[in-house]
Structure 1
Amino acid sequence: MATLARQTAPASQDTDVLPVTLADIHAAHARIADAIVRTPTLISRTLSELTGATVYLKFENLQFTAAYKERGALNTLLLLSDEAKAKGVIAASAGNHAQGLAYHAHRLGVPATIVMPTNTPTVKVTQTQGHGADVILEGDTFDAAYAHARVLEAQRGFTFVHPFDDPRIIAGAGTTAVEMFEDVPAIDTLVTPIGGGGLISGMATVARAQPRPIRVVGVEAELFPSMYNRINGTHLPCAGDTLAEGIAVKEPGGITARMVRALVDDILLVPERRLEEAVALLLQIEKTVVEGAGAAGLAALLAYPEQFAGRTVGVVLCGGNIDTRLLANVLLRDLARSGRLARLRIRLQDQPGALFNVARIFDQERVNIIEVYHQRVFTTLPAKGLITDIECEARDRNHLERLIRALATAGYEVSTVELA
């Protein structure tokens, strides 16, 4: 699928009436600083060479719950009255917001209830319970869980903590940018994932207060362009199985949309393939595990290098909670796209020695055979025909192509089984 660049309306200079100010964010930073990790902002020389920009990464995946969400959750908890703290808080979430809120609520002695959809993976339920929260499974969708949480809020007197559409959450999220500019004043561009819009609203507030112009770019998964739709009045579909599930939001917040409209210069949409590539590169190059949403900023640099060439770019790795099996699948697919792994489909005669003769060519070219699949029945070949799929490992794309040429020269009909 082709990548899409979406230019938003120019950022408004009328920021006086916005619900979150730089002072709010600095106050939040002073409030939460002792209880969160001041994560490093480090240059990536390899990614800089790869993208043509000077790339600084903010490692928010190193927070205790592996996501920046702790910042807003803690800021909100610390601003509650003693009465509200005694009654407890409630949220609807199946992701990082749930864990961040549960962890800091438990640490502060505030009762926390998290409503999750019934189809939430068991590992996320267990992790949230492990942080001391009471988990309630309700409904098949987030909307159903959210509706139930609001009912319990009214019935039991809980304080509802919204994952993004709350000035206290936005102010906490904005502390990420405060640290980035303190550590690397030379940053002239911020690239930030957008889900509901809380993180970029806070980041952009800090950026606009800098003494020089800072370009603020938001990134959404191509399958979920909800903020782009809201800002530009379009109706691109928001659906699909995206790797960036943490920013797969169908409806952004009202507060956050207002702030994005005023403060953000551009929104870029990135396809799944670039998200996969970014996750793989961050593990291979930076040796850090990042979820799909957390890798969206790097995915934008990979998809639109011309927009960032020569600039000093700050990218937030906003979360690292990715299922290990999914991560393994992403890495294997990346190896396949690079030519390191391949599945070759070879037509053989069904006779003794056929497979041996093919294997001998693999040996001659020093390509490792991983798996062999014979197909005699479900094929359009004649009854004596045979299709063999061989999964193999080569050094690189050129090495693989040499093997394919050797097979063709030996008279074999060979094709590659391509990834989507």
Structure 2
Amino acid sequence: MAEAVQPEVNSVEEILENTTIADVYKAAKQLDGVAKKTRLIESPFFSDMCGNNVFLKPENLQNTGSFKLRGAYNKISQLSDAEKKRGVITASAGNHAQGVAFAAQQLGAHAVICMPAITPILKVEATRALGAEVVLHGDTFDDAYEKSMELQKKKGYVYIHPFNDKEVLLGQGTTALEIIDELKDLDAILVPIGGGGFASGVALATKAVNPNVKVIGVEPEGAACMENSFARGKVSSLTAVDTVADGCAVKTPGDLTYAFCKKYLDQIITVSEMEIMSALLFLIEKHKLIAEGAGVLSLAALNKLPFKGKKVAAIISGGNIDISTISALIDKALIARGRVFCFSVLLPDKPGQLLNVSKVLAETNANVIKLEHNQSKVTDSFKKVVLEITVETNNHDHINKIIKAMNDAGYDVDKIY
């Protein structure tokens, strides 16, 4: 992710000092009738899992599929007619692109979105369908960002930063107003952190309305840029990011968002890739809701909360994920939870062996979903064959029982995944 853009007019300290809850309410008024007021969903499953009373804030059901619309619209709505006429520009391969495109379309401004050339065509077309001009450039976000800055200087467009902007974070903060209005005895809000704009706005609004409500930011372990900056006492960059939560794959937080998060956040929790994928699968199974990797960070952190018996709102930040990606994430989550087991055994190459293995699996209630009988994989004997089997299982205990049953029947099991 490219370096954060400095606020244009005031210093970070001045903005932090002078931004109030009135600014968030002003943003809410701008968004009235534009952003959906996504209603909280009480979750018995996640509540039982973590020992708190959990409510989901489904921003994946928002217009354009994520919270990003709020900040983009609020920012563009503050522009003068002359600025709108000049047009707006940003770089994004994700939710911010569609948020800016939608907002610009609604407010009568021309939008230019720079995206990496490798951006999936579905995301490109979705952005174009909202009236934006899409410029494909380079292989990475940084390439697209550099192109957007080049065009901004050349054409005089207004830059709409995805997070390091006061009006953007104020728009994101309207999410918290809706949560607190609907659940007045709330104890905590969980919010994902990428560059920090969402967490900044949510934390500001929450603490201004009710300082007793804890606001906890959640980052992927492989992209914990805000936690890294907190630890160093200043805005700092990660050398690399690696996470399935690509919407939060940010190397450097904004200087403005760092200041807001430092002042208003109570805690940051980091979550592993397996915790993210497991949360995604639980959300699909238990609530029939689709989210992206970054969208379920709050859910992935529920088991790490340092309290029990509290009312907790977990924000599902977005749901823009393509089918191939969600299929891969589900497969990985099933493996992590012990719901799929793939193994191989070495068999004598003679009739009846496959039947014997099948009998053992049937007795252990393992459902075979894939089987490969391959003699060519054995190089030290012409009288043996490798049998690779993939089965559906209940959990890791079930897998252990299958392995024991196979061992008892005289087969050595080589676990593949």
TM-score, normalised to structure 2, is 0.91
SS in 1 for 2:223: coil
Cα distance in structure 1, aligned partners of 2:338 and 2:72: 43
Q: How far off is 1:401 after superposition?
A: 4.0
- Counting only pairs closer than 5 Å after superposition, residues 103-142 of structure 1 correspond to structure 2 as 103-142=102-141
Separation (CA, whole Å) in 2 of partners of 1:253 and 1:334: 32
**Counterpart residue number, 2:169:** 170
3-state SS of the aligned residue for 2:32? helix
**1:28-177 equivalent positions in 2, closer than 5 A:** 28-177=27-176
Q: Which whole-Å deviations, capped at 9, do the CAs of 1:206-237 have from their partners, x for residues lacking one?
A: 12113441222111111111111222218795
The residue that corresponds to 2:288 in the other structure is 287
Shift of 1:129: 0.9
Task: Tell me, yes or no, if the aligned pair for 1:20 and 1:171 is still in contact at 8 Å.
Answer: no
Q: Is contact 2:377-2:385 (8 Å) kept?
A: no
Change (3 A) 1:310 1:329: same
User: Secondary structure at the residue paired with 2:36?
Assistant: coil
Listed as ranges, the matches of 1:17-416 within 5 Å are: 17-18=16-17, 20-233=19-232, 237-302=238-303, 304-305=304-305, 307-379=306-378, 382-416=381-415
Q: Deviations over 1:317-367 (max 9, x none)?
A: 110111211212222233333333211221211222222322233334443
Contact 1:226 1:238 survives alignment (8 Å): no
For 2:336 and 2:272, the matched residues in 1 are separated by 15
Structure 2 letter corresponding to 1:137: L
Distance in 2 of aligned mates of 1:15 and 1:311: 35
Instruction: Kindly provide the amino acid, as one letter, of the partner of residue 25 in structure 1.
Output: V
Q: How far is the alpha carbon of 1:19 from its aligned partner?
A: 5.2
Give unpaired runs (5+ residues) of structure 1: 1-13
Q: Distance in 2 between matches of 1:398 and 1:300?
A: 24
Q: Deviations over 1:240-298 (max 9, x none)?
A: 43110001101111110111111112111111010111111111111111111111111
Return the alpha-carbon distance in structure 2 between the equivalents of residues 311 and 238 of structure 1: 37
Q: Distance in 2 between matches of 1:356 and 1:408?
A: 16
Q: Provide structure 2 residue ranges, at least 5 long, that are not aligned to the other structure.
A: 1-12
- How far does residue 17 in structure 1 lie from its aligned partner after superposition? 4.3
Aligned CA distance change for structure 1 residues 253 and 240 (closer, same or farther; 3 Å)? closer
Number of residue pairs aligned between Structure 1 and Structure 2: 403
Q: Secondary structure at the match of 2:268?
A: strand
Q: Distance in 2 between matches of 1:193 and 1:238?
A: 21
Q: Residues 283 and 407 from structure 1, CA distance in 2 versus in 1: closer, same or farther, beyond 3 angstroms? A: same
Per-residue CA deviations over 1:165-189 (Å, capped at 9, x if unaligned) read 1111011000000000000011121
Offset of 1:379 from its aligned partner? Answer: 4.5
Change (3 A) 1:16 1:138: closer
Matched residue type, 2:275: R
Distance 1:115 1:33 in 2: 28
Paired residue secondary structure (1:295): helix
Residues in 1 aligned to 2:261 and 2:379: alpha-carbon distance in whole angstroms: 55
Taking the aligned partners of 2:128 and 2:345, their CA distance within structure 1 comes to: 51
How far off is 1:397 after superposition? Answer: 4.5
Quote the sequence identity (%). 37
Distance 2:391 2:339 in 1: 8
Instruction: Choose 408-417 or 14-23, whichever is displaced more.
Output: 14-23
Question: Quick check: 1:279–1:292 contact (8 Å CA) kept in 2?
Answer: yes
The normalised TM-score by structure 1 is 0.90
Measured in 2, the distance between the counterparts of 1:130 and 1:187 equals 39
User: In structure 1, the residue corresponding to 2:321 is in which secondary structure?
Assistant: coil
How many angstroms apart in 1 are the aligned matches of 2:158 and 2:97? 14
Q: Secondary structure at the match of 2:101?
A: helix
8 A contact 2:241–2:251 mirrored in 1: no
- C-alpha separation in 1, matches of 2:18 and 2:258: 12
- What's the offset of the Cα at 1:403? 3.5
Let me know the Cα RMSD of the aligned residues. 2.1
Tell whether the 8 Å contact from 1:139 to 1:145 is kept in structure 2 after alignment.
Answer: yes
Whether contact under 8 Å (2:228, 2:238) holds in the other structure is: no
> 2 CA distance for matches of 1:241 and 1:382?
42
Instruction: Choose 158-167 or 334-343, whichever is displaced more.
Output: 334-343
Which structure 2 residues correspond to residues 5-16 of structure 1 after superposition, within 5 A? none
1:244 alignment partner AA: A
Contact kept? 1:223, 1:238, Cα under 8 Å: no
Residues 63-72 or 106-115, more deviating: 106-115
Q: 1:214 and 1:15 mapped to 2: Cα distance?
A: 25
* Cα separation, partners in 2 of 1:138 and 1:212, compared to 1, 3 Å: closer
